Amino acid sequence: MIKKIIQHPNYETLMTGLAIVYVILIIGELLTFTSQSNLIYQMCNTGLWLIFVFDYCANLYYAEDRKVYIKTHILDLIAILPFDQFLGFFRLGRIARLFRLLRIARLFALSSRFWDTIRSLLNTNGLSKILILNLAAVVSSSILLSILEDKPIFDALWWSIVTMTTVGYGDIVPQDWITKIIAIVLMLVGICTFGMVTSAITRFFIDGERESKLDIIMKKLVDQSRMIEELEAKIDNLTQEKK
């Protein structure tokens, strides 16, 4: 039963989503948006930790080579080390620096779970190049607006993003013809690349769903092949017994 769960095509997607939630939880604690003594935080933290402990132990148990699995999943092991419980048991919770370093270590360890997914998304239809183009356009336009119209860099950055996304709040308006040309270029870049970004993300999810279905089909084929081999072996045994 457990083996079927961890080998399900959607299992890794679920674990990636939980890793993102766990990362957000840790960041919130590090930035003091929430407190470790908060009951809801403790329940979520402990629940997610137990899920990842189960994930690591189950995959380790069913791994073909457990030594290789341990070597290739060191970050997963770091993510489930019970240092929260260790510090609490030995009353070392006041060592804030050590606790913070351990939380950051867990943060990086969990990030590794969805880094492959992010990298795959960025490689879909050249999405990374599109985002780099957008970033370059926003940064250069912000710098030019800040210099030409003596605007604070944050306000210039806000204007560039709003203009590229064609939202156009109108709180900051270019005054001369040079910045108006920059605004036109930004809007054209935003209009042209927005559709490309949307199509890349759509294709990523469609391809992921297609791969999940293919994995299910391949697993069924493997199971059927195994059943056929077992039937053939039984037929051979019966044939030999009759002889």
Tell whether 158 and 99 lie within a shared domain.
Answer: no
pTM more than 0.75: no
Tell whether 57 and 145 lie within a shared domain.
Answer: no
Tell whether 175 and 231 lie within a shared domain.
Answer: yes
Tell whether 68 and 174 lie within a shared domain.
Answer: no
Which amino acid is it at 213? K
Domain that holds residue 112: 2-117
Q: What is residue 218's predicted lDDT score, i.e. its pLDDT? A: 74
Last residue of a domain, one of 71, 93, 117: 117
> For the chain, what percent of residues have pLDDT higher than 70?
77
CA distances (Å), 31 to each of 26, 34, 104, in order?
9, 8, 11
Residue closest to 86 by CA, chosen among 106, 71, 109, 61? 106
Considering its fold, how many domains does the chain have in total? 2
Tell whether 160 and 234 lie within a shared domain.
Answer: yes
Measured at the CA of 23, the angle between CA 89 and CA 61, to 5 degrees, comes to 70
Tell whether 195 and 129 lie within a shared domain.
Answer: yes
Mean pLDDT, residues 202-207 taken together: 77
40-58 per-position pLDDT tens digit? 777 887 888 888 888 888 8
Tell whether 97 and 7 lie within a shared domain.
Answer: yes
CATH number of the domain that residue 226 is part of: 1.10.287.70
Tell whether 134 and 105 lie within a shared domain.
Answer: no
26-30, 61-65, 128-132, 201-205: the lowest-pLDDT one:
26-30
Tell me the C-alpha distance between 11 and 111, whole Å.
Answer: 17
Burial class (CB in 10 A: 0-12, 13-18, 19+), 119: exposed
Tell whether 111 and 131 lie within a shared domain.
Answer: no
- pLDDT higher than threshold 70 for residue 94: no
Which string of b and e fits 9-48 if b means at least 16 CB within 10 Å?
beebeebbebbeebbebbeebeeeebeeeeeebeeebeeb
CA distances (Å), 90 to each of 29, 43, 50, in order?
21, 21, 21
Tell whether 93 and 196 lie within a shared domain.
Answer: no
95-140 per-position pLDDT tens digit? 444 555 566 666 667 766 667 777 777 787 778 888 888 888 888 8
Q: What is residue 212's predicted lDDT score, i.e. its pLDDT? A: 65
Tell whether 25 and 109 lie within a shared domain.
Answer: yes
165 and 190 Cβ atoms separated by less than 8 Å: yes
Tell me the C-alpha distance between 83 and 70, whole Å.
Answer: 19
Tell whether 87 and 150 lie within a shared domain.
Answer: no
Last residue of a domain, one of 69, 98, 117: 117
Q: What is residue 93's predicted lDDT score, i.e. its pLDDT? A: 47
Last residue of a domain, one of 117, 138, 171: 117
